[in-house]
Structure formats: structure tokens, C-alpha cells
Amino acid sequence: MAESTMEEYQAERIAYLEGFAANVRRLRDEKGWSQTDLYDKADLHRTEIGRIEGAESESRLLTLHILAATLGVKLDDLVAGLPLPKERRPPPSRKRDGSGTP
């Protein structure tokens, strides 16, 4: 497999987080809830829900479980339709040897 660049890794990560955020918003909207309703019912901090729905957070398993239970869905529903990222960690950083060559 070809080595990915940091840009490719970040693009894949951002696309995944945006898809997850869209699923959470969709499931919340299906309940007719506002973002305030969700964080009140889930007993999570409002900024945490905002970061999740803004695709700025990689939530912990406990938070995912709380969201799923609050929304009345399975954990699978939170990631429905999202492709498994090809790259699971960032590519190694390139170190310079002093010659200007990575």
C-alpha cells in the first residue's frame, strides 16, 4: 500500500468526523430536538455536543454510548454509512538529516 501524506490522512479524518456529525444531527432532528435538548437529555456539556456536531471532536466510547442511549439508537446508527478510514494513524514525520533532504 502506498504511503499516505499527512494531507490525505487529515482529509480522510475530517470527512469521517463530518459524516459522524451529520448522523448525530440527523438523529437529533428526527426526534425534533434542538442541540440544547440533546445535551440536556444526555447530561453532557453543551460545548461537547457543539464540538461533536461541528465535526471537531473524536468522542470517547462512553460519550458515544450515552449519545446512542439518549437518542434511542444503536451505536452502529451513529456511524451508519461512514467508510472505515484507510489510514488509522498519521504518516510518520520526515526528519531532516541536515542536508535539506527529508
Whether 91 maps to a domain, the answer reads no
CA dist., res. 75 & res. 60, Å (int): 12
Mean pLDDT of 37-48: 97
Query: What range does the domain containing 27 cover?
Result: 6-78
- State the total domains in the chain: 1
Q: Would you state the pLDDT for residue 85?
A: 77
Express each pLDDT in 24-42 by its tens digit.
999 999 999 999 999 999 9
Express each pLDDT in 54-65 by its tens digit.
999 999 999 999
82 or 98: which carries more pLDDT confidence?
82
Whether 60 maps to a domain, the answer reads yes
Q: What is the CATH number of the domain that holds 58?
A: 1.10.260.40
CA dist., res. 41 & res. 9, Å (int): 34
